[in-house]
A and B are shown apart, each in its own frame.
With several copies, the nearest count.
Chain A
Amino acid sequence: MDIRVQEEPFHFGTEAQAFSDAQDGAGAIVTFTGLVRDLPGTPLDVMEIEHYPGMTERALAKIAQDASKQWELSGSLIIHRFGAMRPGDQIMMVATASKHRKDAFEAAEFLMDFLKSRAPFWKREITADNTSWVESKPEDEDALSRWDHIQ
């Protein structure tokens, strides 16, 4: 279980390969990467992410522990950035490794669903003429109910 909350960029390919290399006996590795998307209409200058230092690390560790209890994982990784990012930049990634592809896929989706609405990050979009906080989506909260049986 490797949890990193950082301002500096990370290199997706390097992290993905290092994670894969560190696995022993795994047959399946799943990664998810979130990128800053440009906005329809006025171009996005900067996406800024605020977080709650201390709680962020605790919340991510709890989510990763919950995943390890539920699925047979030989490893898991969460990297999440804060601070200023530009369109196309990598915001975060998760990776999971397991003997079986079903476990690796489900655990990665679980990590993403909980990270979206249970880890204390807040996104703000800054364009030439506007600054606005990204609103949470009802479907992100709904996505959690999929995992009710394992809480």
Chain B
Amino acid sequence: MMTLDILYFAWLRERVGEPREVVETNVETVADLVAELVAKDERYALAFADMSSLRVAIDQELTDFTASLKGAREVAFFPPMTGG
């Protein structure tokens, strides 16, 4: 089992209802983690309904949903960025 800090930003944070949580999990990839969250509660199902419009970062580096969580400590989910 590993302990992950999970962060949510922008409208994803609003749908999940909290900016940050700690989960214990033994899944292998980001996609597995999303599936586990979605199975847990309706809020996540709503938040992750359209994964094509979401981005993910592991330990503050952008990656994709097929990425392995091995060694990860912080996983962040968010919509496409709108800086500048």
The answer to whether A and B touch directly, with their CB atoms under 8 angstroms apart, is yes
Q: Which residues of A contact B (CB under 8 A)?
A: 34, 49-50, 52, 54-55, 58-59, 80, 91-92, 101, 112, 115-124, 133-136, 141
Within 8 Å by CB of B11, from A54, A121, A133, A136, lies: A133
B17 at the interface (CB under 8 A from A): no
Within 8 Å by CB of B78, from A112, A117, A120, A123, lies: A120
Q: Please tell me if the beta carbons of A136 and B80 are within 8 angstroms of each other in the complex.
A: yes
Residue in B closest to A113 when the chains form the complex, CB atoms: B84
Chain A residues with CB under 8 Å of B81's CB are: 116-122, 136
Q: Please tell me if the beta carbons of B60 and A136 are within 8 angstroms of each other in the complex.
A: no
Chain A residues with CB under 8 Å of B83's CB are: 49, 80, 92, 115-117, 119-121, 123
Chain B: interface residue total (CB-CB under 8 A): 17
Besides the known contacts A52-B9, A101-B84, 18 further A-B residue pairs in the complex with CB atoms under 8 A apart: A50-B13, A54-B60, A55-B61, A58-B61, A91-B84, A115-B83, A120-B9, A120-B78, A120-B83, A121-B81, A121-B82, A122-B78, A122-B82, A134-B82, A135-B82, A136-B79, A136-B80, A141-B80
State the majority secondary structure of interface residues on A.
Answer: mixed
Chain A residues with CB under 8 Å of B10's CB are: 50, 122, 124, 133
Q: Give the shortest distance, in Å, between A120 (CB) and chain B (any CB).
A: 6
Bound complex: CA A116 to CA B21 (Å):
28
Q: Which of B55-77 contact A (CB under 8 A)?
A: 57, 60-62, 76
B4 at the interface (CB under 8 A from A): no
